[in-house]
């Protein structure tokens, strides 16, 4: 758990450092005229705190609302189930089925 927290902290520090450097140098590598590969404006690279705030903000999923992070985890779980079933149809995860109307139903084996 500590390793994951340190990895996330390192990623945030590199992200914010790159963003700060790009804004201080006008989008070029320091001491050169070579442009940075990614623009560092707030649209292309939002601050890490803005990203974290969006992950906990509520979104509408059909009739219910839930945090964006929960929505993404649900979609990732669905994708994992699909991929696992494609690799081995006998796997213990449930195979989601799509009925004629396009809604998802879980088939229990």
How does pLDDT run across 44-88, given as a tens digit for each residue?
A: 999 999 999 999 999 987 888 999 999 999 999 988 888 887 777
**In this structure, are residues 59 and 47 in contact, taking their beta carbons and an 8 Å threshold?**
no
User: Which pTM does this prediction carry?
Assistant: 0.66
pLDDT at 93: 58
Helix (H) or strand (E) holding 61: strand 58-61
């Amino acid at each position: 758990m500590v390793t994951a927290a340190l990895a996330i902290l390192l990623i945030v520090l590199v992200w914010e450092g790159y963003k700060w450097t790009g804004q201080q140098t006008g989008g070029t590598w320091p001491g050169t005229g070579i442009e940075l590969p990614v623009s560092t404006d707030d649209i292309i690279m939002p601050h890490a705190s803005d990203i974290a705030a969006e992950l906990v903000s509520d979104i509408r999923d059909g009739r219910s609302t839930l945090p964006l992070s929960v929505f993404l985890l649900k979609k990732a779980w669905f994708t994992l189930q699909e991929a696992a079933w494609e690799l081995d149809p006998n796997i213990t995860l449930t195979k989601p089925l799509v009925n004629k109307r396009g809604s998802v139903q879980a088939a229990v084996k």
